[in-house]
Amino acid sequence: MRVPARRARALAAGALAGAALAGCTGGGRTLRFIDPPTLSRPTGYSHVAEVPPGHALVFIAGQVALDSTGALVGAGDFAAQTRQAFENLQRALAASGATFADVVKMTTYVTDASKTPVLREIRARYLNMQAPPPNTLVEVRRLARDEWLIEIEAVAAVRRAP
């Protein structure tokens, strides 16, 4: 049987990963998070997420520290805003039948990267840190509104019945 080149590369990456491979089986779904030994060891995220066939991708827009009424939560308080952004992500994921266990990619925008330890501490309360999804952290001069200190977007892979 001939294996397509893309699949062969994925298999090779999986083989290289060895002990650096972790699976996440939220709700019976099996996503693979891989940290190849040919890359640096990440802190609080994985380098690669592999989504198996039969999953639908769900894209969650950047979530900020607004409550359900649109009021800002935690003016000037990075920790409070981070908690609210993660709560909003959790609600957005639930709307599509997903949980944090289904997240395969996150992008986090902050206005002050020196707050990264606070972000990591709060993020660990929501994500499986044994197999965290790939994440890109970007420091920006400002977000769409001056009072926003953090914005987090996510992509999830949700198992769909055939």
Q: Please provide the DSSP assignment of 4-50 as one string.
A: PHHHHHHHHHHHHHGGGEEEE-GGG--EEEE--TTSPPPSSS-SEEE
Q: What is the pLDDT of residues 40-59, one digit of tens each?
A: 999 889 999 999 999 999 99
Number of domains in the chain: 1
Q: Rounded to an integer, what distance in angstroms lies between the CA atom of residue 68 and that of residue 2?
A: 51
Quote the domain boundaries for residue 13. 5-159
Provide the residue type at 17 as one letter. A
What per-residue confidence (pLDDT) applies to 21? 47
CATH code for the domain of 88: 3.30.1330.40
Task: Read off the pTM.
Answer: 0.79
